[in-house]
Structure 1
Amino acid sequence: MSREAEAPPSFWLDALRAAGTDDLRPRAPLTRNATFDVCIVGGGLTGLWTAYYLAKADPSLRIAVLEKHIAGYGASGRNGGWCSALFPTSTAALERSHGRDAALAMRRAMNDTVGEVARVTEAEGIDCDFVQGGTVAFARNAPQLAAAQADVAAAAEYGVDELELWSAEHVEGRFGARGTGRERPLGAAFDPACARLQPAKLVRGLARLVESLGVTIFERTEVTNWFSKRVRFRSALPDGGSVDGAVSATTIVIAVEGYGAALPRVGRHVLPLYSLMIATEPLSDDVWREIGIQHGETFTDYRHLVIYGQRTADNRLAFGGRGARYHWGSAIREEYDRDPRVFGHLQRTLVDLFPAATDAAITHQWGGPLGVSRDWRATASYNPKTGVALAGGYVGDGLSTTNLAGRTLSALIRDEQGPLTELPWVNHRSPQWEPEPLRFVGSNLGLLATGLSDAEESLTRRPSLAAKLMGPLTGH
């Protein structure tokens, strides 16, 4: 049995195997030169959504997906399970660079995407525990409350997102949440445009769906380089050997997100930023009554060092956050997926937020890299001259954005002009990250500054100056 089948890289994938619904055995690799109309590099949500919309629009297309491990091995099978309208670039930043109409169009597209994922999964029979209950963002000190108030005010001004500001009394009456140092919560912002789902069920179900539409998925097939209309690969054979080959295709779609940093033609165009998660054992009804989070609700707070969580369908707390350092040369290794220091921080943070979870056993710990562009802006791009399309740079907001990317790339590849192809992220080109050692020093100093900003605000009860200076560097 393959290594992937023996050691799922996340709770989500492990849950499928434990339930007996998916043994995670890799599909057959590509072992010879081949020709397709479309060759998609990467078997995550970006690649699979693109394959889905292309195959639905034109069933005659010969589409292949090449994946180094198994479908959903990367961020698509490891994330926090938020199908949200979040986008890594703020509406204000989009308005400054593209104008108000374009910024609002992007916000409408992201809100519509939550509904589109719901529509497709229901229509196509993908049971991924999709329940839209919204996101509760707790304000745990005065600067966080000010940030929540600013978000709600901005949403009201733009008139697209329907954020609500909840009072301290409402939060305290509904949730067993505490503030930093277990202080009384000061309020929360509620965004209804988010659903809880099981990401491995989504990506693995989507893989089976596109196969039923005639798409061929080759796993254990590592792409080593690509050029206009040609992809080079190296496939792992069952006997431990390997075979090299090439795929000729009219269109090539690059959908590798943070893992692209290891590819020569991506390199410094993306920085792999690690985000880690923990999951508890299933909690009792009494504990959940005290915590207050309902099925379908996701939760976070307004700290600068991002955290995110959900109540799973089987009543666990799945909780994640940033804090893992950037590794020299954008290195991506399996041992980086697990950092005891960060896991300990996540457990302490979860218990500080929800004291009712103090005695909950942690059953799973995992992580992985997400993709960050230099200007923190995602893109969906296509060059008709070379036939190369790409999407990524989601900065952790990719679960739903990948669906928008798939629809957009499908339209661009088929030269179908319309609202999707006019969105401000289409054909956006970000600058490259700095070479080492500047990239290493800058990234880790930024991480340190983010943590210090939270400590500063907790201590002073005033907005952090460091966080304000970092805002323009993170898409705000």
Structure 2
Amino acid sequence: MRPFWLDQALKDHPEAPCAPLQQQTRADVCIVGGGYTGLWTAIMLKEQNPQLDVVVIEADICGAGASGRNGGCALSWSAKYFTLERLFGREEAVRLVQASEASIYAIGDFCQRYGVDAEYRLDGTLYTATNRAQVGSTDAVIAALERNGINAFVRCPLPELQRMAGSTRHIEGWFSPAAASVQPGKLVRGLRRVALGLGVRLYEGTPMTALEQGKPAVVSTPSGRITADRVVLAINAWMARAFPQFERTVAIVSSDMIITEPRPDLLQRIGLTSGVTVLDSRIFVHYYHNTPDGRIMLGKGGNTFAYGGRILPVFDQPSPYRPLLRKTLAEFFPEFADVGIAASWNGPSDRSVTGLPFFGRLGQGDNVFYGFGYSGSGVGPCHMGGQILSSLVLGQDNAWTRSPLVKGPLGHFPPEPIRYVGSLLVRNAIRRKERAEDHGRPPRRLDVHLSKYAAAAGKADKG
């Protein structure tokens, strides 16, 4: 069974999968992975050079991975400003925040230009506090954005905040218009349709079984081979298993979601009537938004951790955290306590050490490119990833190819089993800390200390 968003998209547009590759073929560019990153890259390549022969292979169908099952929160990197400045310096940090906001608007422009009904709603985002310990946690980054002339956030008066968010759980909040919500499955399937319309050759049900680096490179599949001048690896969480050198660059962790049955009448009653995305100030955040047909989607990151970068079977099943999410939904929205849950799901996100994606060239060559590590927040940044990878493929000299984002991973996790055991220790400390804060109690010092290991990379898993 497909995750809710993808299942809904396939019902609305019942398109047959493209046939698997069954022969040897030649291409200018071969892209491995038919999600947001791979499809944005393919589209941007064809828009810039329509004569370029671009092949995309996808192990399942386009959108079967994270692109068809995320939270649908298209957010900028504004909240990551301190991480960006620490890693890349002030000038590049400012540029990346501005570029990330531009990508939010560009996704909407793309949907309008190509007639993609992705339920794109440019209704902004709310970053909030839901307990006293969270109050003031956003002040410092807002002040830094303001100092650099890139602040889009305004503080919301409490009545307006609770009205916009539809819940009295929020006791402080900042609003930015530079954010959107989307139906993730419809967006990725729309990208697929546009790519095909531009002449991209797509083979679904076609996993990569081997990569021979060279000029040209050769991508092998179960029943075929693609000889290509340039190759783009856009398989995200699967990179850690496919290429052992990346195994310690990301931690594979779930983000879990539920979605209600439609109740537009209740949404009207509580005031959650726009497509605003709402995030609290936890380390592993709660995030939610409504849908045009009257549902609430609510999710939480940082739940199931995988040992050794494995993609666990649970990542393709209903969420084991459904009861917890159901309880949280009722706490945010008592009016929805008895509303049915239409579906629950989860999926693997590739959490990097910095909380930011990274890009680069594989090995010593200059014709195999990769990008991953979106850390559970890829809806907007994947558009940036398409700009980066298409620029690298075309050999351009621009702000993207000169960016430190293209220098590969900027940190490594400890080896197993230390990484796995440490991840569980930190996760459980965060849970205890935030449970104490929710009840107005001071958390244990050890839990606060351990929680800092996750907090250093910023909020996790929301889109």
The TM-score, its normalising length taken from structure 2, stands at: 0.91
- Output the CA distance in 2 between the equivalents of 1:44 and 1:152: 32
CA distance in structure 1 between the aligned counterparts of 2:313 and 2:77, rounded to whole angstroms: 28
Instruction: Map 1:228-267; keep pairs closer than 5 Å.
Output: 228=213, 229-235=216-222, 243=223, 245-265=224-244, 266-267=246-247
| Aligned-residue offset at 1:127 | 1.3
What is the alpha-carbon distance in structure 1 between the residues aligned to residue 85 and residue 254 of structure 2? 29
Letter in 1 for 2:452: L
What does the per-residue CA deviation read over 1:413-443, in whole Å, with 9 as the maximum and x for residues that have no partner?
2122123333342324233433321121112
Give me the whole-angstrom Cα distance separating, in 1, the residues matched to 2:320 and 2:235.
Answer: 28
Q: Which residue of 2 aligns with 1:444?
A: 424
Counterpart in the other structure of 1:466 = 449
Point out the more displaced range, 261-270 or 365-374. 261-270
Number of residue equivalences: 452
In structure 2, the residue matched to 1:221 is 206
List alignment gaps of at least 5 residues for structure 2. none
CA positional deviation for 1:224 = 2.2
Q: Which letter does structure 1 place at the counterpart of 2:11? A: A
1:315 aligns with 2:308: no
Output one character per residue of 1:43-69: Cα deviation in whole Å (capped at 9) or x when no partner.
001000000011111111111111100
Deviation, structure 1 residue 327 = 2.4
Shift of 1:471: 5.2
Map of 1:17 onto structure 2: 10
- Counterpart CA distance in 2 for 1:227 and 1:377 is 28
Quick check: 1:102 aligned with 2:87?
Answer: no
In structure 2, relative to structure 1, the CA distance for the partners of 1:471 and 1:401 (3 Å cut) is same
* C-alpha separation in 1, matches of 2:100 and 2:231: 25
Cα 1:94–1:31 shift into 2, 3 Å? same
1:211 maps onto 2:201 in alignment = no
| CA deviations over 1:374-396 (Å, ceiling 9, x no partner) | 33331132469330111111111
1:11-35 CA-partner distances (Å, limit 9, x unpaired): 111112333x224x42111112222
Instruction: Give the distance between the partners of 1:424 and 1:406, measured in 2 at CA.
Output: 16
SS of the residue 1:65 aligns to? strand
Q: Which moved more, 1:65-74 or 1:443-452?
A: 443-452
Q: Which amino acid aligns with 1:215?
A: V
The alpha carbon displacement at 1:467 in A equals 6.6
Q: Does 1:329 align with 2:308?
A: yes
Q: Following the alignment from structure 1 to structure 2, what is the Cα–Cα distance between the partners of residues 134 and 415?
A: 35
Structure 1 residue 468: Cα displacement? 6.2
> Aligned with 1:171: secondary structure?
helix
- Identity fraction in percent: 31
What secondary structure, in the 3-state scheme, does the structure 2 residue paired with 1:405 have?
helix
TM-superposition CA deviations, 1:324-352 (whole Å, max 9, x none): 22122222133333465411111111111
Query: 2: distance between equivalents of 1:175 and 1:48?
Result: 33
SS of 1:443's equivalent in the other structure is helix
Q: Which amino acid aligns with 1:299?
A: V
Partner of residue 3, structure 1: none
Which residue of the partner structure matches residue 17 of structure 2? Answer: 26
For the 8 Å contact 1:72–1:204, the answer to whether it is kept is yes
Q: Give 1:262-273 correspondences, 5 Å limit.
A: 262-265=241-244, 266-273=246-253
Q: Does 1:300 align with 2:291?
A: no
Query: When the two structures are superposed, what TM-score results if normalisation uses the length of structure 1?
Result: 0.89
The DSSP-based 3-state class of the residue aligned with 1:402 is helix
Please list every run of 5 or more consecutive structure 1 residues that lacks an aligned counterpart in the other structure.
1-6, 180-184, 236-242
> Structure 1 residue 461: deviation in Å?
5.9
